[in-house]
Structure 1
Amino acid sequence: MTDLPGLDLSALAEWLDSAHPGLRQGELAGQVIAGGKSNLTYRVTDGATTWALRRPPLAHVLPTAHDMVREYRVISALTGTAVPVARAIALCEDVAVLGAPFYLMGFVDGVVLDRPEALSQLDTGAARATCEQLMDTLVTLHDVDPSAVGLKDFGRPEGFLSRQVKRWHGQWQASETEPRPQLGAVIDRLSDTMPQPSASAIVHGDYRLTNVMFSPDFSQIAAVVDWEMATLGDPLTDVGLLVVYRTLSANNEFGMPPMNPDDGFLTADQMVARYAAGSSRDLSSLDWYVGLGYFKLAVVAEGIHHRFLQGQTVGAGFDRFGAAVPRLLDAALHSLTNR
């Protein structure tokens, strides 16, 4: 067995044999799955079955972030609903095994549209359909009754938006690499112009084109992935953040591939309209949620930059996140000024 950063395959095999005897049929092999800038995801196989393994980053884990237990719980709860998720297999909370909690899920045979060459496979009709499926699945997620799937206590919807601002500000303070002059104004605008929340629902927390897997023929979404930020709260935070990601895709920023409307991809406004067509939620305050989305990504970028400076990132592309932070804060302030 050849170990990987953050994944001791011998320790994993020993744990599997003890906690889930019979699950492993042969020697384990693994590889890092490209694309993740936060939690680490690996492809693991015993020669007969293939799984995906998720664990937190190697260092500098922020409070409430990278929570494997919550992520495992939500995909377990959503199994059997109309929201497509990978099958939950096993959860390990013993940090002695791999140095952090982790879980195994079924490996989904699908396509992630996270690179220009992947998007180039789509004709204009398929490109439009992927965006429509993305928005329709988000509506479906927000329509799931948390109590009906055992997630009634998965979050505290009351005061969700104010806690979001406080929590993300706190995470910024835990990761700050240098003072940013825009930060104070962004926090003030988020607090002073906060809207009345939408009715609570399951919130993905990082919903975007690159966090879903499509079937190989692009006819449907095979799985929504990366549930590390999931909670109960105001679902319009998902919509606002999705608008941010869609906007950033124009310049191939923050891991988003270019989504050219001339190639059939919906614009941010069209994606919002698709969501509005399937949902009865009031979107009149969406600019605030977009501003919050930009602020969140600024915090995420600062956290990634902090880990990069500490030499605790795995893979390429982490050196670009520091420069993105002031641009994201500026965009947040612009959106919030429209309020």
Structure 2
Amino acid sequence: MSSLVAAPTPGVDRDAVTAWMGSLGVEFTGTLRFDRIGLGQSNLTYLVVDEGGRKWVLRRPPLGQLLASAHDVAREARILAALGDTAVPTPRVFGLTHDPRFTDAPLLLMEFVDGVVVDRMSVAESLTPARRREIGLALPRTLAEIHAVDVKRVGLDDLASHKPYARRQLKRWSRQWEESKTRELPDLDSLTARLVAATPEQHELSLVHGDFHVRNVIASHETGEVVAALDWELSTLGDPLADMGSMLAYWTEAGDAGTGEPAPTALDGFPTREELARVYLEETGRDPAALKYWHTLGLWKVAVIAEGVMRRALDEPQNRAAGGTPTVEQIDALIRTALQVADEAGI
């Protein structure tokens, strides 16, 4: 590839970023090419390729006017750097800059990790059922590694509040619901009250990824093991079971009602939610009953987030995501599922 085909890329000043990479001591050949990758709606991700075929990944906040979200990339860089010497699989960080000579927003340059990202149906369909199962079962093992990190030793003890995580989550997302709801939903209000009444005591504090699911990891082509966990900008300190509960909430099985379009994890081969939970609990020795609470809270939180996405799309059609907008039927189905899990858990 040459400079003749290097088209401008929104969000990236090619010459400035090239100069920054040179200042970091990163070796590259010829003109760099920047291409948007991934389906994420928060931080923007670019694949950087030189004329010799070497690759890197660049991250920056979304375009437009931003407030605190501009801090997310720096937060992600800090966490990735801290995890570099742990068992958690993460890409290596090459640099972070806020320098206006190079960028109008924080930029994070990190290692390109080759592998499989199951972020769309076509990718899942290209895998054998055996490989799907390997990838699925690797997820709870990776979460166990994340939750085993000694946050003091790696310098992340001050990453976030040490106050009880369940109360923090309920307060935050209840406020979000009130600000974004499109209708009254008594079932959600009832579920909120039940979650508040059953709030568990916090017995341990760990690193929490905050957005751990199959689309946010890279798996090995050869073994299905997770070779990189991605998207750490929502990471915090809290109850480790929160991550597993959220992952179960996002995990769709064949036969789940009200989910809309078919989900990759519903294909033959991917493990069930019960299998995922069993692997995690066997790895960590944590309480199965407590996980039920966090699974319920995870479903409640996903429903609140989906309502917000739907509200923004109604208010401004340009906010509609390419992958589709949640519907009232899908959100109501999430709440019904959450109520069922809560009933089974005695919440």
* Alignment TM class, shorter chain as reference: 0.7 to 0.9
Match of 2:79 among 49, 61, 74: 74
Question: For 2:278 and 2:9, how far apart are their aligned partners in 1?
Answer: 44
Structure 1 unpaired stretches of 5+: none
Q: Could you state the TM-score of these two structures normalised by the residue count of structure 2?
A: 0.83
Q: CA deviation at 1:198?
A: 4.3
From 217, 226, 231, give the equivalent of 1:226: 231
Alignment-derived partner of residue 278 in structure 1:
283
Partner of 2:39: 35
The Cα RMSD (Å) is 3.1
Structure 2 counterpart SS, 1:321: coil
SS across alignment from 2:264: coil
Q: Structure 1 residues 173 and 55 mapped into 2: Cα distance closer, same or farther (>3 Å)? A: farther
Contact 1:91 1:104 in 2 (8 A): yes
CA distance in 2, matches of 1:39, 1:104: 13
Q: Which residue of 2 aligns with 1:123?
A: 128
Pair 1:245 & 2:247 matched:
no
Contact 1:114/1:255, CA 8 A, preserved across alignment? no
Give the TM-score, by structure 1 length.
0.85
Q: Within 1, Cα distance between the matches of 2:57 and 2:73?
A: 13
Tell me how far apart the structure 2 counterparts of residues 247 and 120 of structure 1 sit (CA, whole Å). Answer: 15
Specify which of 155, 165, 168 is matched with residue 170 of structure 2: 165
Question: Per-residue displacement from partner, 1:18-73 (whole Å, max 9, x unpaired)?
Answer: x6366565433211113223322111223343221222333586866971121111
Q: How many residues align?
A: 334
My pick for the range that moved more, 210-219 or 56-65, is: 56-65
Among 185, 207, 219, the alignment partner of 2:190 is 185
> How far did 1:98 drift?
4.8
Whose Rg is larger? 2
Determine helix, strand or coil for the equivalent of 1:12: helix
**Contact preservation (8 Å) 1:58, 1:313:** no
8 A contact 2:299–2:335 mirrored in 1: yes
Q: Return the match for 2:338 from 322, 332, 337.
A: 332
Q: Alignment partner of 2:266: what SS?
A: coil
Residue matched to 2:3: none
| 1:4–1:332 Cα change, 3 Å | farther
Q: CA deviation at 1:140?
A: 1.4
Q: SS where residue 206 of structure 1 aligns?
A: coil
Q: Is the 8 A contact 1:189 1:337 kept in 2?
A: no
Q: 1:22 to 1:61 in 2, by over 3 A?
A: closer
Q: Counterpart in 2 of 1:259? A: 266
**Which residue, out of 215, 222, 234, partners 1:210?**
215
Tell me the SS of whatever aligns to 1:285.
Answer: helix
Distance 2:120 2:337 in 1: 24
User: What is the percentage of aligned positions where both structures have the same residue?
Assistant: 36
Q: Which moved more, 1:22-31 or 1:280-289?
A: 22-31
* 1:245–1:256 contact (8 Å) kept in structure 2: no
How far apart are 1:12 and its partner, in Å?
3.0
Relative contact order, higher structure (CA 8 A, sep 6+) = 1
